[in-house]
A and B are shown apart, each in its own frame.
Chain A
Amino acid sequence: MTSSLIQMRGVAMRFGGKTVLDGLDWEVRRGQVIGLLGRNGAGKSTLMECMLGLREVDAGAIALFGEPLGALSDANRARIGYVPQKSDLFEWMTPRQMLAYFKALYPRWNDERVATLLTRWGFDVLDLNKPIRRLSGGERQRLSIIRALAHDPALLVLDEPVSALDPAGRRAFLGELIDEVVERGTTIVFSTHILTDLERVALDVAFLKDGKIVLQGPLDDLLEGAHQAQGGVRTDSLSLEQLFLEATQ
């Protein structure tokens, strides 16, 4: 129970007459780095939003850090970092103002880390002082990631965090995630369609389909176990892409 950092039981959610989550059960243990996979429209973003209490569910129970979502303490709430797929908030603020605003909300804020990341990811004085709406998609996404990492979260939830980044930007981001894991043992849940990125970082994967988690396990085991199910004729394991296609069929 205590090792379970995210716990979802029978979570149901209908949206515009369509069932998005259908009695979904899911558990993520402390320290897991888990990739959430599913086809477009499978409900990955909705699942993450429900998990964080950003959307009301129609049924089911959700607990984070062992506390029911409805009664989540401020201390635990401040240990969550979230990068939404698309953020249109705070567009009128400059990055400097936005970061100062968030700093005031969190008891813990790693100024040094923020400064390092801003420099490393190419934010100059000019960028820091212009409204966020005038930054490029990639710059906004990087800023959103910096904001999510700034308070050294214990749980990091990332929804397509690199969709606007070029390969160099993605690699730099993955490097930060590796550091997170090495330095802090952060629990990470992230969705992406870039499977090669996922393979580098995620040790576990979960597949969302028809409103449920239909398959979950250690990535290596799933890749290697899949061929045994086929009668052991293959000597190769599956690639993650093949596994994705099979699991989400």
Chain B
Amino acid sequence: MATLPNYLFSITPGSSDPIYRQLVDQVRRLVAAGQLAPGETLPSVRDVAQQLTVNPMTVSKVYGLLEVEGVLVRRRGIGMTVAGQPRDKHDAPERARLLRPILERAAREARELELDADTVVALFTHILKEQS
């Protein structure tokens, strides 16, 4: 039950996603992918705020929303931890659903750039292979 490093998160100010939503999405993805295991402790609000140079209230809001969603659990004397049972790794549709918003945005930008579907899919396939 190690405490995670606070450089776990990153943000892009100036985007059309408010900072809090960027962070909520990141935690959801990390949990869904198993990179954040159940029971793991998240860095404190203060540490994340200072690391990312964002208002601590924004980080509190992120943790609060994820707590309501059941992704995180607040534990006395420990702080925020990842909730529950390890997710079923086979639950691919559930995990794929989390990818949808970001792909929708990519699709919109692709249309704005007037790229055809084959080119975009080929590029995405290429990126997937690059990263693995």
Interface residues of A (CB under 8 A from B): 33, 171, 174-175, 178-179, 181-182, 195-197, 199-203, 219-220, 223-224, 235-242
Contacts and interface: CB of A to CB of B under 8 A. Distances in A.
A200 B55 contact: yes
B55 A223 contact: no
Nearest to B12: A196
B26 interface: no
A235 B13 CA distance: 18
B14 A181 contact: no
A196 B13 contact: yes
A219 B13 CA distance: 13
A197 B53 CA distance: 9
A178 B19 CA distance: 15
B18 interface: yes
Contacts of A219: 18
A238 B18 CA distance: 9
Residue of B17, B55, B56 most packed against chain A (CB within 10 A):
B55
Interface in B49-83: 49-50, 52-58, 61
Given A171-B53, A178-B50, A182-B56, A199 B13 contact: yes
Interface string B31-63: 000000000000000100110111111100100
Given A33-B55, A203-B55, A242-B16, A235 B50 contact: no
24 contacts: A179-B50, A181-B55, A181-B56, A182-B46, A182-B50, A195-B14, A199-B14, A199-B18, A199-B19, A200-B13, A201-B53, A203-B55, A219-B18, A220-B18, A220-B21, A223-B18, A224-B21, A235-B101, A235-B105, A236-B17, A237-B21, A239-B14, A239-B16, A242-B16
Contacts of B52: 200
Contacts of A202: 55
B18 A224 contact: yes
Contacts of A241: 14
Contacts of B58: 203
A71 B53 CA distance: 37
Name which of B13, B46, B54 has the most chain A CB atoms within 10 A of its CB.
B13
Interface of B: 13-21, 46, 49-50, 52-58, 61, 101, 104-105
A241 B13 CA distance: 11
A175 B46 CA distance: 11
A219 B18 CA distance: 8
Contacts of B46: 182
Given A178-B50, A220-B18, A223-B18, A236 B105 contact: yes
Contact of A240 (B14, B53, B54, B56): B14
Given A178-B53, A181-B55, A202-B55, 8 more contacts: A171-B53, A178-B54, A181-B57, A195-B13, A196-B13, A196-B14, A220-B21, A224-B21
A178 B17 contact: no
A178 B56 contact: yes
A200 B17 contact: no
B55 A178 contact: yes
A78 to B, nearest CB: 26
A220 B55 contact: no
Contacts of A179: 50
Contacts of A236: 16-17, 105
A227 to B, nearest CB: 9
Given A33-B55, A174-B53, A182-B46, A200 B19 contact: yes
